[in-house]
Structure 1
Amino acid sequence: MKEDKASLSAIMTACIRAHHSMYDTPKIFDDFLACDLIPQEALLSIKQHFSKDKQFNDPEHTVTPSDQTITLASFTKSTSVLSRARYTEDVLEEAVRQGVKQYVILGAGLDTFAFRRPEMMDCLEVFEVDHPATQNLKLHRLAELGCEHPAHLHFIPVDFTKENLATALTRSPYYDPSVKSFFSWLGVTMYLTREEVFSTLRSDSVPKSSDFCIS
């Protein structure tokens, strides 16, 4: 992703979750708030992205709004984003029953957990860790929607290519490295180097008793 631009993959992920929630039955994972968080200008950027697909590069083929809609709908048929989200939250529920008190979402993007699951926010401190540009996009959209942040939701900006997780988490006075925690890291590691990934996993800020869901 570009230094000053929000992650397109984070927006695409939200589109997948929103499309599935609105149109698919049965539902693997019902993110009924995802659609609200997607800025219209961002959705237009995704459509432009798909319009550059090689299937549209044929000079005899005219790209139409219908073409773009079909391509976007086809993209959202992927179940990997949905299944990993469902699995993560299912495992998190079990982890909470076993004493987990902190939920750290690495590369949170437009995640809506803190707003969808108020019943779990009573027993968890939730930390959304993401690139500053992507996090700023989300915070701006939440402000536009007039959403009040849950008391136990905390935002921590970080660029994983320049800063380690331990340093980032220490910026939040609410994070306690001695407390049993649950970390999810979905759809991010493929954009990082091997060393950046293992540096994060070896972070001193990660309690030894922590659970991890990584995709």
Structure 2
Amino acid sequence: MDASKPSKTADLVAAVRARHLKIYNPPIFVDPFAIQFCGKGWRRILGSKLLTWFVIDFMLRDILPLAPWIATRARYCEDIVDSMIEQGVEQYVIIGAGYDSFAMRRKDLEDRLTVFELDQPGTQNEKFRRMAEYSIPTPKNVRYVDSDLNEVPLFTALKENGFDASKPTAFSWFGVTYYLPLETIVQTLQSVADNSARGSALFFDFRIVLDQVPSEWVVAHQKSAKFVARRGEPILTEFSPDELSELVLDCGFSSTDIPDTDTINLQYFSKMPASQKLTPTFRLCHAIC
């Protein structure tokens, strides 16, 4: 991916969040800024029932079942971040922030939490443009850090922008690992484990390696990879849960939790129809320093 250009998958994530509010009652995750952070094309599609049906329900029907993961990972993370804030955590780092709106939604935390948003300059500049377009004010507690993890070490970028490594910190890293080479993933995990204060935690998602995807979901898994590759962001790395857990511990974390899909479905989707629940194609990881 060209770091100087906005991420097309970040645009897609905003669109999925916006659509989630329309079709889930109650929604798993509420992001009122999502529609404003969509590109013009997605806003037009989501504003028309006919276009929504044709583009999303018809053209993207094979990968549509994967969409609930986007809302779920955000809800899962923010539930834990809230509990960490109540325990005194004062820093939250969002790696690969895209069009994340946490700081805008949580004005109640402006005086309690410093948020560091890391992303490549192309996506970050487009976010600023869309904020200006809709007169969305910049939260006073956010530090925007333009950084490419393939080029600049995570903590080098953070410390240059006021990050205090002596304080326990929450880190989120969603929608990123599968677009990175294994070497960069390992470097990032080691960096967080080696440089973070005790009690810090990292939350991220990962794609399940193909031979562990149930047969009924193999086509969706493969087509989703082709979909993002055509948009310039090919899938580079996938894991089995056991492999990922072992890697996280080897990188220096004290413990890790990778809840299975049934557990997450029971937690957030117990009253939802099967068509709106999570597919066993991704997993979430909560790693503790």
- State the TM bucket, normalised to the shorter chain: 0.7 to 0.9
Residue aligned with 1:128, SS: strand
Query: Aligned to 1:67, which of 36, 54, 77?
Result: 54
1:132 aligns with 2:121: yes
Residue aligned with 1:123, SS: coil
Match of 1:158 in 2: 147
CA–CA separation in structure 1 for the residues paired with 2:152 and 2:139: 27
After the TM superposition, which residues 73-152 of structure 1 pair with which residues of structure 2 at under 5 Å, given as runs? 74=61, 78-152=67-141
Is the 1:165–1:205 contact (alpha carbons within 8 Å) kept by the matching residues of 2? no
Match of 1:194 in 2: 182
TM-score (norm 1): 0.83
CA–CA separation in structure 2 for the residues paired with 1:153 and 1:76: 33
CA–CA separation in structure 2 for the residues paired with 1:68 and 1:84: 24
Q: C-alpha root-mean-square deviation of aligned residues, in Å?
A: 2.4
**Structure 2 unmatched ranges of 5 or more:** 206-289
Shift of the alpha carbon at 1:44? 8.0
**Structure 1 unmatched ranges of 5 or more:** 48-63
Match of 1:19 in 2: 19
TM-score (norm 2): 0.63
CA–CA separation in structure 2 for the residues paired with 1:160 and 1:27: 33
Match of 1:210 in 2: 200
Count of residues in correspondence between the two structures = 197
Shift of the alpha carbon at 1:46? 9.3
CA–CA separation in structure 1 for the residues paired with 2:43 and 2:18: 15
Match of 1:50 in 2: none
Identity of aligned residues (%): 36
When residues 3 and 101 of structure 1 are mapped into structure 2, their CA distance, relative to the original with a 3 A threshold, is closer
CA–CA separation in structure 2 for the residues paired with 1:82 and 1:20: 7
CA–CA separation in structure 2 for the residues paired with 1:117 and 1:72: 35
CA–CA separation in structure 1 for the residues paired with 2:159 and 2:117: 13
When residues 157 and 71 of structure 1 are mapped into structure 2, their CA distance, relative to the original with a 3 A threshold, is farther
